[in-house]
Amino acid sequence: MSQAQRIDVLIPTYNHGHFLDQCLSAVIAQTRGDFSVLVIDNASSDDTPAIVARWQKRDARVRYLRNDINLGHVENMKKAYRLTSAEYVVVLPADDLWQPTFLEQTAGALDAHPECAYAYTGWRNFFDMPDGGSGVPPGTESDAWIPHCASGVVEDMTWLVVGNWIPLSFGVFRRAVCDRLGGLFPEHLGHIADLLLWMRLSALGKSCFVKEPLGKIRHHGKNTTHDLVASGRSAFEHIHVLDLVYQSDLWSHPIRLLAKCCQIRLMTGMSLYDTATRFGNEKTPAMIRDYLERYRSDFYVAVARCIIGYLGTGTGVGTNEEAIRLLDAALELSPGHAEATALLHSTQTLESAPYPTWIRNHALTEIDAEVFAERMMLRWREKPVFHLLMWVEPQQRALLADTIDALSRSFYRDWRLTVIAPFACLDPVLGEIPVLRWIEADPDSALGALNQAVADGDGDWFALIPPGLRIEPHTLLRFGDYIDLHPEWRLIYCDDDSITEDGERIDPRFKPDFNLDMLRSTDYIGPAFVCRAALAAAGGSAFLIPGAEGHDLALRILDAHGEAAFGHIADVLMHRPEAIRPGADDAHRMAIVMHLERRGVAGKVLAGYLPGTFHIEYAHPSPAAVTIVIPNKDALEFLEPCLNSLLEKTDYRRYDVIIVDNQSSDPDLFDYYERIVARHPDKVRILDYPHPFNYSAMCNLAAAQAGGDYVLFLNNDTQIVHPQWLARMMSHAQRPEVGVVGARLCYPETGKIQHAGVVLGLGGIADHPFIGRCGLADPAYLNRALLEQDYSAVTGACQLVRKSLYREVGGLDAEELPIGYSDIDLCLKVMAAGYKVVWTPFATLVHHGSVSQKSDAADPEREAARRARFVKERETMLGRWLPILSHDPAYNPNLSLIHRDMRVEQDMPINWDANFGDRKRILGLPLLGASGQYRMVQPFCALSHAGKAHCEFVRFPQGHARPITVTEMARLAPDAFVVHAAISDAEIAALETYRRHLPGMRRLFMLDDLVTALPEKSSVYRNFVRTFRAARARLRKALELSDRLIVSTEPLADTCRDLIDDIRVVPNRLMRDPWTRLVSLRGQGRKPRVGWAGANQHQGDLALIETVVEALKDEVEWVFMGMYPERSRACVAEVHPPVGIDKYPAKLASLNLDLAIAPLEINAFNEAKSNLRLLEYGILGWPVVCTDISPYRSHDTPVTRVPNEPEAWIAAIRQKLADPVVAAQEGQRLKQWVVDNFILEDHLDEWVRALLD
């Protein structure tokens, strides 16, 4: 080897001569040349020696060594390693490939980073199985998953413990580091030797990652990996390699614990989070627990890092929320832990990403503009004039320009802008704007000037806005719509966000509907509102308190006109400048104080937990009596600290306690009862409930015997932590407008929030926001974890209610809701009676959480009964409360009903307003891929664009599809919901739920393939049959739950006529753009170009033409896209991999065919197919030879149809090629036929009738 050759390329091979040519070609083509190649042949019996010999003649860097006997693939590689000596080493099995810059990038990275032990690149999977294997067509490529998102020096070890993403072929490593570790493969691992290599190298150095995919790993069905998996050897090695890590001093103890955690996970199926959090629990021997405690914080960080790295991969390691809990726990154990802090920040950064998606999903469309114009011209009873006022400081002149620019783009023109500033207008252009008025006033007279401007103006509605605030073009139209819809509203506010100097929209504020206690806690409405001018002077002038003008005005309108005067538009219509300055706390406090005085409410306005927030201590003539009810069964270990802390710490004296005992059997508990009652005979008494556990009945029993004016239901697994908790809850409970009060609950171990109010609809019925995510000092979304506010419900774990009201609404529902949701039901009954449900963070308790339910989980029978009961209770809640469950006034329809952190909704498009019925609303759940595009996405987009209907489709991320919950569906309120071949258990169950609870929503079923007769040769046949057994029975059930079936062909309709009565046939068609703009050229090959394009289910179809391809190989250039006939690969000139649907039309046109073919097997599935393939060929002007089958006979298609006999195909193709001019004319006739009959936009009325009639 030359001194200059610094890289050894080791190519182990065994009977891979048919791949070796490509492999060596890729190596010799490298742009970096200081390498030597050793092909080490493991006793092949094929033509490997001859192939290598040819390459040795071409390039002296290629060496060849053949073993006399097969050493096994690992020993073969180890032998090659021993026979070489270069500084850098890479092992490239003969069936894999490199891009030309692979060595330049990887070895170059190692040259630049001596601290790195190895370098590797991104790579792609290349599927080369003869039958398409596992449903993937030959030639298909896919990107590999790699946890790093950018090139650079990276740390791999933590993630490698979970799994390997670095194939041996695509990593270059330093020989010196490898030798220090004992050589290439010191342990004999047949399947995952490469994983152990990378883990060992990671222990001694970092790595360099090159993001660009510079390698391809070939999957051909005979890889060594396949044999090892089939033999069970792979499973053993995955367990064993983690033992090797745990036993070696090469790695740190946290990494070794992580390896053990991963091993247990592999063998139990538990998530990484669940496994890790069980390490060192109370049942662990003390010696082991002490060892674990030494490394727990670093161990938790390692586990969290794994979870974050593998999010979205389907590996089940854990959730983002669980990673955050681990990081929080690590920071409690080791405050200031650097990696925990950084990772926690990264998770928060990730969760801000949905807002740009929301913005894209809610962009204004053609139909929006159309309906806005119709409503304004045809429905509005008045056309309001909007008068906007602004005080501008000298340094804010540039911001003023931003506001004027935004106003100038408003679709609604009846607006005025009054600028009041301590300087004269210096821009003559502004003076020429007729709707802009400039008033010069000094700061001391600013408030008077603003009030005078309101009085003098001709606006019907006015707003005080900060300089730099921008509106959307349709903002004023949206306000006008609601002014017309709700003439009783006096003040209308909207959601808003911030906008940076670069124009980026950030920090959306999706607000609740009017929320009295939140408005008393902070100015949550902000500047994003308009106010009716005739009512502005509710207190003598529009603006009274400098620095809190809007807050004060809102409170005065509330005092004068009540809560019904407020309206909320749940849409981001205004954008605050990022640098906006909040008003002074003193000003806002004064506004609240004056509001309370006007109402005659006694109380102190105190500072809240955050700047700009407040807390009111309401004063009452005398403290009312409270009976505290604690249901209990055994559980002395929880009840004793609960009751002891209650009796010892509570400073509110007028209370007594009723413990409702439910058939306890613990003698120690009975002893405790005796002691506690003897010690506090006037405070504590015991009631027996001698029946099966029924939380609601137990509470009703105690409430009936309660002596207090108020009843507080308290779980037995809570603890009191500060004396004022009950006094602060009673401060709210004694307000005449309040019916229920809830407290803040936190977990004992972490101090994280367990209860900060309940959001209706969350998780399907109702759930706790922020649970397990926020510490006691964390503000959460819109500071809501630290604000007193009205919620629609609070948990029964600590729930305070006026006894008379409790009886008035019927107490807890012991019949239909014996355990679950009875606390939510009570709150909703109280709200329906006209009272508020208030939550306060100023009363905090510790709560262990669902102790009895956790004990149920250990007993299979009890768990099954619990699940059955839960289903019944869920149905009761949906039947009773669905309208409010889906529209929680304390929440916002733009926030997720799945995630607990009040994150922005991005899966469910809500780009229509269900308050207006201008167009029908249609929601679809399309299949992924081309079928979903042609049958739903494209028609829906075309219908919306044409103004026919509001059409939206669900945008689930790849691999994250799920049924839409009934509360999500009710919130969206479509007139019709369209499902696409929805025959899974979950989809059928969802259809049943929709039929039961949303009878007014039409359920339409879309079908474009005969799923009951999938061809056995199809690549998806085995998986489909395994997943959807009894497909026809499933289809029958789904159609029974549907109002109509929409199919693409008459044969499909005929097949389903005994399954459903209402069937509509709407053929597949092409969108005008881009199809009619495409140009495909003729005569571009040395021979006529004949080809086919299609998806991965056509093995049987292509098998029909293998003989044809072989017979004509010397007469035509065969071109295939997506798949090709495997047997005839040598006869094919070009194979093009499949592309995404967005790139498909242009890619298809670029094939530049002179003739297209469309073979189809004769079977029931294909007889029911559409003629879509002919449409795609035809619009490009290609003449077509196809199978004589029903879909290709329909509509008198001008193509050449032949029987599925090789001789007929060969003759037809030769006939077409014999006269290129005639063939081209046939192609043009076919194109015109497509244009005349199959352009989607020309036939939208068919879709309207199918979807809406």
Would 1244 be classed as within a structural domain?
Answer: no
Is residue 226 domain-shared with residue 271, that is, in the same domain?
Answer: no
Domain final residue pick, 1031, 1065, 1099: 1065
Nearest CA among 716, 746, 689, 509 for reference residue 628: 716
Say what the pLDDT of residue 339 is.
81
Would 883 be classed as within a structural domain?
Answer: no
CATH number at residue 551: 3.90.550.10
Where b means 16+ CB within 10 Å and e means fewer, 529-552 reads bbbbbebbbbbebbbbbbbbbbbb
pTM of the predicted protein model: 0.76
SS3 assignment, position 545: coil
Return the minimum-mean-pLDDT range out of 280-284, 304-308, 1057-1061: 280-284
SS3 assignment, position 42: coil
Q: Give the dihedral sign, CA 107/111/112/118.
A: positive
For 1239-1251, write each residue's pLDDT tens digit: 999 999 999 999 9
Say what the pLDDT of residue 751 is.
86
Q: Contact, 1184 vs 1178, CB < 8 A?
A: yes
Residue 473: CA count within 13 A, CB half-sphere: 9
Is residue 341 domain-shared with residue 265, that is, in the same domain?
Answer: yes
Of residues 128 and 1133, more confidence is placed in 1133
Pairing type for strands 753-755 and 1134-1136 reads unpaired
SS3 assignment, position 127: strand
Say what the pLDDT of residue 354 is.
76
- Residues sharing a CB contact under 8 Å with residue 88, sequence separation 6 or more, in sequence order: 6, 7, 8, 107, 110, 172, 173, 174, 175
Would 903 be classed as within a structural domain?
Answer: no
Is residue 383 domain-shared with residue 331, that is, in the same domain?
Answer: no
Q: What is the mean pLDDT of the chain?
A: 90
Say what the pLDDT of residue 1017 is.
66
Say what the pLDDT of residue 329 is.
83
Alpha helices in 1012-1103 (DSSP H): 1021-1027, 1031-1040, 1050-1055, 1072-1075, 1099-1103
Domain final residue pick, 823, 839, 860: 860
Environment class of 1245 (CB within 10 Å of its CB; exposed 0-12, middle 13-18, buried 19+):
exposed
Strand ranges in 540-663 using DSSP code E only, listed in sequence order: 566-577, 603-607, 614-618, 626-632, 655-661
Q: Compute the chain's Rg from CA coordinates.
A: 36
Is residue 754 domain-shared with residue 850, that is, in the same domain?
Answer: yes
Q: Is the pLDDT of residue 220 over 80?
A: no
pLDDT band at 232 (very low <50, low <70, confident <90, very high): low
Q: Contact, 1003 vs 992, CB < 8 A?
A: no
Is residue 308 domain-shared with residue 220, that is, in the same domain?
Answer: no
Query: What is the C-alpha to C-alpha distance for residues 854 and 1019, in angstroms, rounded to an integer?
Result: 45
Query: What residue type is assigned to position 883 of the chain?
Result: P
Q: Is the pLDDT of residue 532 over 90?
A: yes
For 936-956, write each residue's pLDDT tens digit: 999 999 999 999 999 999 877
Q: Is the pLDDT of residue 749 over 60?
A: yes
- Whether omega for the bond prior to residue 1074 falls within 30 degrees of 0, making it cis, is yes
As a dihedral over the C-alpha atoms of residue 100, residue 105, residue 106, residue 107, rounded to 10 degrees, the angle is 100
For 378-408, write each residue's pLDDT tens digit: 999 999 999 999 999 998 988 999 999 999 9
Domain final residue pick, 844, 860, 876: 860
Q: What is the DSSP secondary-structure string of 200-218? A: HHHHH-EEEEEEEEEEEEE
Say what the pLDDT of residue 3 is.
45
Pairing type for strands 206-219 and 97-98 reads antiparallel
Query: What is the C-alpha to C-alpha distance for residues 240 and 191, in angstroms, rounded to an integer?
Result: 11
Q: Is the pLDDT of residue 538 over 80?
A: no
Would 369 be classed as within a structural domain?
Answer: no
Q: Is the pLDDT of residue 347 over 70?
A: no
Query: What is the C-alpha to C-alpha distance for residues 1150 and 1231, in angstroms, rounded to an integer?
Result: 17
Query: What is the C-alpha to C-alpha distance for residues 339 and 661, in angstroms, rounded to an integer?
Result: 48
Most confident of 285-299, 311-325, 791-805: 791-805
Say what the pLDDT of residue 656 is.
98
Mean pLDDT of 614-643: 97
Nearest CA among 583, 457, 437, 580 for reference residue 530: 457
Would 590 be classed as within a structural domain?
Answer: yes
Query: What is the C-alpha to C-alpha distance for residues 551 and 561, in angstroms, rounded to an integer?
Result: 15
Return the minimum-mean-pLDDT range out of 54-58, 850-854, 1008-1012: 850-854
% of the chain exceeding 70 in pLDDT: 93
β partners of residue 826: none
Mean pLDDT of 987-1011: 95
Query: What is the C-alpha to C-alpha distance for residues 8 and 550, in angstroms, rounded to an integer?
Result: 74
Query: What is the C-alpha to C-alpha distance for residues 637 and 748, in angstroms, rounded to an integer?
Result: 14
Q: Contact, 358 vs 894, CB < 8 A?
A: yes
Is residue 210 domain-shared with residue 222, that is, in the same domain?
Answer: yes
Is residue 229 domain-shared with residue 316, that is, in the same domain?
Answer: no
Would 1095 be classed as within a structural domain?
Answer: yes
Q: Which two tokens stand for residue 25?
A: 């070609």
Pairing type for strands 710-714 and 798-802 reads antiparallel
pLDDT band at 540 (very low <50, low <70, confident <90, very high): low
Provide the phi-psi class of 587: left if phi over 0, else alpha when psi is between -120 and 50, else beta. alpha
Is residue 965 domain-shared with residue 1011, that is, in the same domain?
Answer: yes
Is residue 97 domain-shared with residue 80, that is, in the same domain?
Answer: yes
Q: CA separation (Å) from 127 to 563, 576, 747, 1120? A: 64, 52, 50, 15
CATH number at residue 1199: 3.40.50.2000
Chain centroid to Cα 847, Å, comes to 30
Mean pLDDT of 1208-1218: 96
% of the chain exceeding 90 in pLDDT: 70
* Structural domain that includes position 457: 378-618
Supply angle C-alpha 147, 149, 152, rounded to 5: 100
Of residues 1009 and 332, more confidence is placed in 1009
For 178-194, write each residue's pLDDT tens digit: 999 888 887 767 667 88
Say what the pLDDT of residue 1247 is.
97
Of residues 533 and 2, more confidence is placed in 533
Is residue 927 domain-shared with residue 1035, that is, in the same domain?
Answer: yes
Is residue 239 domain-shared with residue 311, that is, in the same domain?
Answer: no
Q: Give the dihedral sign, CA 1009/1012/1017/1023.
A: positive
SS3 assignment, position 718: strand
Count of domains observed in the chain = 6
Q: Is the pLDDT of residue 84 over 60?
A: yes
Would 373 be classed as within a structural domain?
Answer: no
Is residue 247 domain-shared with residue 267, that is, in the same domain?
Answer: no
For 91-124, write each residue's pLDDT tens digit: 999 989 999 999 999 999 999 999 999 999 999 8
- Residues sharing a CB contact under 8 Å with residue 329, sequence separation 6 or more, in sequence order: 297, 300, 749, 750
SS3 assignment, position 1190: helix
Would 788 be classed as within a structural domain?
Answer: no
